[in-house]
Structure 1
């Protein structure tokens, strides 16, 4: 594990790698998923038309298939990286992502496109799981928090810029060019990791790949009330997020007629989540995980009720929708990271299995819920706003059951 420098700053894994380069590399690996999802939004109509998609809502499966592959493979790459090491698992995953991107580039049918996108998601699960494991191998405590906070600040630019990048590519060429861009980006990232990123898990610390041991670890995760409760609650939050992403292009263009400029509004909305993530990093030590996240969940439900009322009464305009969605994303920025941390909090003895299971449950269940919301799109914002309200309320019920009716304070702490 890395030590600190004389000035108390985190050291780096080896002398040839600067702290700035390490943070940028971690952020780029983390950003691969956000980029691969959000960059597709402007291209969905073109891809659907060319590949013969009859029902407009089915275009959203290009996003959902990626998410399902990402979630399912999370269970695999955690134990594999404990067995073979972080670096080979990471490089193999990126290579699989590249294969999926190339297959997407040459897809002649919608079914082939969905298969290729799922393969991309499977490959992208390796960077998602392994990156966090590598940081955990090298750092702990406040050092780990500092490295992850710095990486998150860079990473948050991806969901803001990705749709605009996708739209810019479409201005210059065909939708195939987006997959050329993803192939080039991931290939450059693989070369960067191969040349500069060292192995973080020594041979003597690697574990054998025993299916029975792995299954037992996963069972222990699923039978822990706090881990399971907050996994399910954050899955509801992800379901709302993925529902928005799935139907964003249709809502901005079909309901509000923004055309290509919708990517700019999307970026402004996503910026609210970035602001919340920054504020959360500054406030969480002072107020605690539960006060911030439980309060944000209650606010999200209140905002969702207002949004649903506006949608049902036909009073939703572009500007009220923008304000509504920006507030939802702002509160999501407090809910998701803190709920995820609370799901991992009791899993210190088997953090690797815990991280893999949390990733699997939250992404897979979130993708299914988000696909359900997107499939209900009917030319209005009613399905999305009601989906937010339903999923927010469900998350609150799950949290109340998990905490035995007590919000804002963990059960093992006395009120103070």
Structure 2
């Protein structure tokens, strides 16, 4: 693979003028695996708790074990795709995900359910993580930013509709049916990947699948100061938003006093904000310098965090308490695609490894967020808002550090081998 991909796609690759919508929809369907796996089952938590005699803390592990196993395996999906190609890894992962979802549906105990959820996490990342490398394989520069933004616009709908779908499924059947639904979705995503998505990494550009090669690629990414700052910046800024996603059962049911069909009251405003942010990214791609764009976005994120805290303190009720998370979603919709592409562009010869390590940083923190932090900080709407604001501040500080460090002469060119230079 060359460090600067050609502006015209390789032979056999779907061009943006002929099948942009189909390509975008397929990539978005892969990105939506995560939100559907996490959010669709939220309305079923109460029923699962009754069936398995589990308390709130135990039920949060249904989310955290999935995220943790997703994070651990995310290290390997990218490098494996650098060796075997993108499509075999994505399709194989999706089929494994389907099997794990069926086991979840048939689980006779909470222990079996948690083990099956961990298996879901092990396989789900193959599609969601590698699909980001596919975007960068296909396009570069503003066009890659636009495609990532379009994927985000469709992907952003998933957390809003997933709990609604879960709630509607519970109207007609038990919580087990939710897992049959996600199994069917995984199978559909596998069929789309097999029939629509091109293989974007030709054999001549693949790396040998050896332990030493995989570790070397991961270490090359992990030791980069630029990458570390961008990865943690992405993780903390996203956590300011994602906190409300993983805490939704507590926020909606316990703090707002709503029912299992009412998750839309939180998710629709949040996702609306993210869609608006993704639309802005799509419109601004190629017109505004990405670093300056993120400077403004980080300021906007801090303003949204302050608004969220103020509303939670003064009027802790609907509809006011969802305005802050919605404003945060706008900032995340702009920042997330830009940060992801910036990390991939640092390593043109190790995009799979870069995609894996970028996901690993965010996912490990998200697993900690769901399993340990959420039960501690969701005693009230105000403590939840303050925690979200803390993550926003950390993300903005890391971005400021990155901007200052990359402006210094010592980091004008990364002190690593040529294959890791920014394009």
| TM > 0.5 fold call | yes
State how 1:231-246 maps to structure 2 within 5 Å.
Answer: 231-246=231-246
Q: Identify the range of structure 1 (93-102 vs 134-143) with the bigger mean alpha-carbon deviation.
A: 134-143
Task: Give the deviation of 1:62 after TM superposition.
Answer: 1.4
Whole-angstrom CA distance in 2 between matches of 1:93 and 1:132: 15
Alpha-carbon spacing, 1:308–1:157, altered in 2? closer, same or farther (3 Å): closer
Structure 1 unmatched runs, 5+: none
Whole-angstrom CA distance in 1 between matches of 2:338 and 2:199: 29
Task: Give the deviation of 1:304 after TM superposition.
Answer: 2.4
Deviation per residue, 1:165-189 (Å, 9 max, x gap): 1111111211111111111121222
Task: Give the deviation of 1:19 after TM superposition.
Answer: 4.4
Q: Identify the range of structure 1 (146-155 vs 274-283) with the bigger mean alpha-carbon deviation.
A: 146-155
**1 or 2 for the larger relative contact order (CA 8 Å, sep ≥6)?**
2
Task: Give the deviation of 1:279 after TM superposition.
Answer: 0.8
Q: Is the counterpart of residue 279 in structure 1 residue 280 in structure 2?
A: yes
Q: Which residue number in structure 2 is paired with residue 205 of structure 1?
A: 205
Q: Which residue number in structure 2 is paired with residue 290 of structure 1?
A: 291
Structure 1: 4+ residue segments shifted above 6 A: none
Alpha-carbon spacing, 1:130–1:307, altered in 2? closer, same or farther (3 Å): closer
State how 1:184-223 maps to structure 2 within 5 Å.
Answer: 184-223=184-223
Q: Which residue number in structure 2 is paired with residue 103 of structure 1?
A: 103
State how 1:30-179 maps to structure 2 within 5 Å.
Answer: 30-54=31-55, 56-179=56-179
Aligned residues: 402
Whole-angstrom CA distance in 2 between matches of 1:398 and 1:143: 27
Q: Is the counterpart of residue 336 in structure 1 residue 309 in structure 2?
A: no
State the TM-score, normalizing by the size of structure 2: 0.85
Task: Give the deviation of 1:141 after TM superposition.
Answer: 4.2
Deviation per residue, 1:217-260 (Å, 9 max, x gap): 22222222221101011111232333211211221222222224
Deviation per residue, 1:264-298 (Å, 9 max, x gap): 21223211111111112212433322333232223
State how 1:387-402 maps to structure 2 within 5 Å.
Answer: 387-402=387-402
Q: Which residue number in structure 2 is paired with residue 386 of structure 1?
A: 386
Q: Is the 8 A contact 2:269 2:323 kept in 1?
A: no
Structure 2 unmatched runs, 5+: 414-423
Whole-angstrom CA distance in 2 between matches of 1:172 and 1:267: 23
Whole-angstrom CA distance in 2 between matches of 1:185 and 1:122: 17
Q: Is the 8 A contact 1:228 1:343 kept in 2?
A: no
Deviation per residue, 1:297-321 (Å, 9 max, x gap): 233223323433554x564222220
Q: Is the 8 A contact 1:2 1:138 kept in 2?
A: no
Whole-angstrom CA distance in 2 between matches of 1:280 and 1:18: 21
State the TM-score, normalizing by the size of structure 1: 0.87
Q: Is the 8 A contact 2:218 2:353 kept in 1?
A: yes
- SS for the counterpart of 2:404 is coil
Deviation per residue, 1:43-83 (Å, 9 max, x gap): 222222212212x1332221222222222211111121222
Q: Is the 8 A contact 2:226 2:402 kept in 1?
A: yes
Alpha-carbon spacing, 1:286–1:11, altered in 2? closer, same or farther (3 Å): farther
Q: Is the 8 A contact 1:304 1:388 kept in 2?
A: yes
Q: Is the 8 A contact 2:130 2:352 kept in 1?
A: no
Alpha-carbon spacing, 1:216–1:392, altered in 2? closer, same or farther (3 Å): same
